[in-house]
Structure 1
């Protein structure tokens, strides 16, 4: 368990913010890959400070659940966007959503406020036999995808498909030769009128998060194999891409790393 303090917060785009955490404890975190994950602990609204569990194992979950709600921290899984050991700092980038306790914390956090992390390691492992790569994610996976791209200096031919809510959240992505980045914007892609079930003849609005990029991958030209794929985001996106790659493209299941970061309509447990 590592307790750090907020050093600064930066708005990256209307839908994303970056919080820099720092302190001597950063030395205890060994980032081992592009999608380096941590449990992030932060105080609830109204709490005077952060109360961290002490167990350096999965026993921390029991400790948190035994705390009273008045003292229990919020806990979320996050990707470390960047590490700067010399400065004893890490950056964590957040996709902002109204009504989220995490977003409320990010918007109100100030330098000196405490936050804690617990190392979860990484899942991205590019196998030696891979001759092509596919990276897919919605906005919740964008920080991990960008970190993976920065870590791999000489990657194989790569197709990247990213979905965000609005055009304002699209950003330049420095990519080496052979890496192509495709952006898919939900509020620019309403569903066909034939899908309208309101009886009004009006479009019901943007598609479900993850649906746009999933459909794009189904029709996309992929790099020649053997292919390694990493996909994360809304649960149906992650499972849908894996199913398509294995069933329709013949990619071995062992070469598809997929993670459901969240599920539409279901809030993360506190």
Structure 2
């Protein structure tokens, strides 16, 4: 499958008060092989302009260089998302957008008004970034609402999982397979209840691995607890900071972001 192309919106629906599910169709999606935690880059065009795709081929470094070469006024905004579901027969995928507050960025602003016929660009999903699930006896999954799409796909593939998901309130819960511990912020600081729940969790016997995603600082705290306090091996903890408090993907990485990236890459 060509990792770059256009996506056209075919349907939009609210799955919770703060989550919009958008169905896209596009060339090559019918041949898309599924795997858990399948990520792609979405390209949002500047207001009033069609989306402009980089002209490079399927090599990610050349593609990104071509993306940066697009003039700033025409360059689409790029954000990372996870495939929530797929329909090979219709060459379609679903992507969930969490609608953030009044300080929403370009992706949330787009999702608020998305309608059939709208067009975005994409890079991926790219099999080069596929990561195998752990073979441990138990997988601990922990994240916020941005992690729900990935957790849903992971739970469809594992036999034994302990799952904690922090969301704004009870209305943000979504149907997920297995036993899920839902944590409601109800105005509390983002991530506090998730960290407390994981620290207090009684895990089953046998080997344990972890999958963590959500706000980068919260993910970092959870990972330090699991490795430093619970003694999990560093390579037994898969972690991704999907977003950063007070920062966007356009902002420069912090020192901790760079350290995380080096460790994930084996550096």
Superposition TM-score, scaled by structure 2 size: 0.85
Question: For residues 151-162 of structure 1, what are the structure 2 equivalents within 5 Å?
Answer: 152=157, 155-162=158-165
Structure 2: distance between partners of 1:269 and 1:224: 42
Question: For residues 157-172 of structure 1, what are the structure 2 equivalents within 5 Å?
Answer: 157-172=160-175
TM-aligned CA distance change 1:29 to 1:41, over 3 Å: farther
Larger radius of gyration: 1
Question: For residues 165-180 of structure 1, what are the structure 2 equivalents within 5 Å?
Answer: 165-175=168-178, 180=179
Instruction: Please name the residue that 2:37 is paired with.
Output: 35
1:115 Cα deviation after fit: 1.5
Native 8 Å contact 2:37 2:150 kept in 1: yes
Instruction: Please name the residue that 2:24 is paired with.
Output: 21
Where 1:59 maps in the other structure, the secondary structure is: helix
TM-aligned CA distance change 1:156 to 1:26, over 3 Å: closer
Structure 1: distance between partners of 2:153 and 2:221: 23
Native 8 Å contact 1:123 1:257 kept in 2: no
Native 8 Å contact 1:131 1:226 kept in 2: yes
Instruction: Please name the residue that 1:193 is paired with.
Output: none
TM-aligned CA distance change 1:62 to 1:24, over 3 Å: closer
Q: Which runs of 5 or more residues in structure 1 are unaligned?
A: 188-204
- 1:149 matched to 2:155: yes
1:67 Cα deviation after fit: 1.9
Query: Number of residues paired by the alignment?
Result: 242
TM-aligned CA distance change 1:231 to 1:94, over 3 Å: same
Superposition TM-score, scaled by structure 1 size: 0.84
1:5 Cα deviation after fit: 0.8
1:123 Cα deviation after fit: 5.3
Native 8 Å contact 1:3 1:25 kept in 2: no
- 1:79 matched to 2:115: no
Structure 2: distance between partners of 1:41 and 1:117: 6
Q: 1:257 aligns with which of 233, 238, 243?
A: 238
Structure 1: distance between partners of 2:22 and 2:39: 15
Instruction: Please name the residue that 1:50 is paired with.
Output: 51
- 1:117 matched to 2:122: yes
TM-aligned CA distance change 1:75 to 1:28, over 3 Å: farther
Structure 1: distance between partners of 2:229 and 2:159: 22
Q: Which deviations, in whole Å up to 9, do the C-alpha atoms of 1:154-181 show, x marking residues without a partner?
A: x333110001112210133232xxxx21
Structure 2: distance between partners of 1:91 and 1:148: 16
Q: Which consecutive segments of 4 or more residues in structure 1 shift more than 3 A?
A: 120-124
CA RMSD of aligned residues (A): 1.8
Instruction: Please name the residue that 1:127 is paired with.
Output: 134
Instruction: Please name the residue that 2:255 is paired with.
Output: none
Structure 2: distance between partners of 1:62 and 1:211: 39
Question: For residues 201-212 of structure 1, what are the structure 2 equivalents within 5 Å?
Answer: 206-207=188-189, 209-212=190-193
Structure 2: distance between partners of 1:6 and 1:157: 35
1:65 Cα deviation after fit: 2.1
Instruction: Please name the residue that 2:96 is paired with.
Output: 93
